[in-house]
Structure 1
């Protein structure tokens, strides 16, 4: 069995994630990563800048004018920005799985809240009403939909007594269910690049990409793309990243004829045409945002994270802003009140590494132009640095 050592995995990461050499466009950078995380609206822009040095206007153009990159709720009930052509695969597999889960939970919660005795029927009628309103009146924000449809004004109590529980409005839950199903998408944004106020839009009005693929074809397409971006990766990595079952992952690996390879710890998988080594790259530096797809691409992260997990990830496994040197996470970064970016090392770094990271900080500071990005996923390391 072919051995792919950790240094080769880091070289692959450098080249394929467009961190050692920039991509030529926003959509090229997105395709290189399979998708960009979009849980926080600013993360798409920061991740794209790190890989292609695009301006905010160029990134917005890709998202809202060209629509070559589209935001979609998918794996692990997380919002991602996908290259448009990958949407049918996502809709038929990872997003469909989330949609079924969300519809069932919503039906149960509205029954528990006393809103209805027939949860499934309420969900069916309410989601149909939202779609009808969007068809008739065009794209609307959540606030506008709530004003148009009184059923969306309801509130429900979820997980009482839990730290994450409380009383929540029903509208986001309904829209999440529809978004996961691929019926609606986040259209243009009624706010700045750091805010999330999407105008919900009927998916077929926003992009014309055809119907969803079958579940098997969808997972095969996603696994192919993931292996091209992140391979070699383990079955555990893929199962976690896709939010899927092991059986679904194993079927997809068989479908794409993935090849098993040895890793420094255990075994992983690559595509059958991806067995050759990548040529070495020069040392490189990068500052990546919270939940960046490189940081979050694997579940088993030792080959690039080392022993920094507790300082750079929160208790739920969410990675904060990270500083990279030559294929490894070596720290984080934060911003001062004036918007300037500051590198926070997690280990001793030599002068060459610090100069390169400081240069990245200067470049990012200039690009931000005084804007301060306040991520809720700030790492413990950065929080301690103030």
Structure 2
């Protein structure tokens, strides 16, 4: 079977709700998250803006209520040591298939530092010390319900243990073990980031026991089985695609990627970017009406594939930073055609990077105006500014 780039873009529009005509029944936040598997959450604002971009009916408060009221979606540290928000049905698969591998690397790195770098106070037995601190953190959270990192470091003095600098480099400074320890516990599925202190764009999250979302803790799955389930789930959302795309998104090595895919009934497909794979039953969709969308920085759609030429065109240099993080993008008919930003006064501005015609310009103008109203004057600054976003914010 062959899929042209245009056919892939049609599937993207329909299945990812990127400029698709609004359905008769507006989707819920949970349905939007399920439709893209997981929302990037390194920037807290991305979660909200990714949802708003896919539904004109939903508001910022709807996203907040879903995460922290109904608790039907949850923020987890997972693929490529990145924060995501996923639905409760997908979290056990993601956790066992990706987060546990991340957790092993985080634990190995932290213990290596504690063994080889001076600390204050000194730690004769880092393994035993770390196990005790972890148990105290979990006990403190169960007692408090929620707590910030600062509150936990007060309740658990061991978190104030410092890793000392060993060079005169500007980046080599005294730092406590609070952040790496809490990140490790979250990757292991023992604690979870909950509502931040401050506005919906705040990065200062509080922490809660995992039992606040999963009674009795996260369900345990065999890691190999979970990787196969996660690869299949990814192909449901992002297929047809390449094996490289799967490996990049999951953060697995080649061996684990091939083993995961070997457990799935796959169909070989021809893509304009090269050989690809898909699940049986993956077919072209009817061409949707052209539509506009303003997706935020790190949105899961433009970050979903390693090979992006079929929807990104020649715009990578202006829209990505040097680390491979994409900024806010303007879409028309399933393609990236420009970028946008929110200025300090709350104005949503955009710029086209190619000639898109009068219909597209009018549709994007309308989307930008709607988004500005829905943000209510809030400013949004991406953690990873890109060249075009910097220009637009100036």
| Matched-pair contact (CA < 8 Å) for 1:259–1:270 | yes
Q: Which residue in 2 is equivalent to 1:18?
A: 17
CA distance in structure 2 between the partners assigned to 1:158 and 1:87 by the alignment: 37
Helix, strand or coil: the match of 1:93?
helix
Q: CA offset at residue 39 of structure 1? A: 0.2
Instruction: After superposing the two structures, state which structure 1 stretch, 198-207 or 29-38, moved more.
Output: 198-207
Work out the CA distance in 2 between the residues paired with 1:185 and 1:160. 34
CA–CA distance in structure 2, aligned partners of residues 272 and 166 of structure 1: 53
Secondary structure of 1:283 counterpart: coil
Q: Is 1:307 the equivalent of 2:306?
A: no
- Could you state the TM-score of these two structures normalised by the residue count of structure 1? 0.95
Determine the structure 2 residue equivalent to 1:36. 39
Q: Trace 1:206-221 onto structure 2 (pairs within 5 A).
A: 206-208=213-215, 210-221=218-229
Change (3 A) 1:166 1:240: farther
Of 51, 57, 60, which aligns to 2:64? 60
> For residues 234 and 363 of structure 1, what CA distance do their matches in structure 2 show?
36
Q: CA deviation at 1:163?
A: 7.5
- C-alpha offsets along residues 247-305 of structure 1, whole Å, 9 cap, x if unaligned? 2221221212122211102111111122x211110111111111000110001111011
1:318 aligns with 2:325: yes
Q: CA deviation at 1:190?
A: 2.6
Structure 2 contact 74–213 (Cα < 8 Å) conserved = no
The runs of 5 or more residues in structure 1 that have no matched partner are none
Structure 1 residues 341 and 68: CA distance shift in structure 2, 3 A: same
Q: Displacement, 1:48?
A: 0.7
Partner of 1:93: 97
Q: In the alignment, is the contact (CA less than 8 A) between 1:344 and 1:382 conserved in 2?
A: no
Task: Write out per-residue CA displacement over residues 179-207 of structure 1, whole angstroms, 9 at most, x where no aligned residue.
Answer: 00111111233322110333311112322
Alpha-carbon shift at residue 210 of structure 1 (Å): 4.9
Q: Is 2:288 aligned against 1:281?
A: yes
In 2: Cα distance, 1:308 partner to 1:117 partner: 53
Equivalent residue, structure 2, for 1:27: 30
Q: Deviations over 1:141-188 (max 9, x none)?
A: 111101111111133257957776544332110000000011111123
Q: Quick one: structure 1 residues 332 and 157, their matched pair in 2 at CA, closer, same or farther if it must change by over 3 Å? A: farther
Contact kept in structure 2, 1:187 and 1:206, CA below 8 Å: no
User: 1:135 maps to what in 2?
Assistant: 142
Q: Name 1:351's counterpart in structure 2.
A: 358
Structure 2 counterpart SS, 1:52 = coil
1:233-272 aligned within 5 A? 233-272=241-280
Q: Which stretch shows the higher mean deviation, 262-271 or 346-355?
A: 346-355
Cα root mean square deviation, aligned:
1.8
Counterpart position of 2:187: 180
- Paired residues, what number? 384
After TM superposition, give the deviation of residue 376 of structure 1 in Å: 2.3
Aligned to 1:336: 343
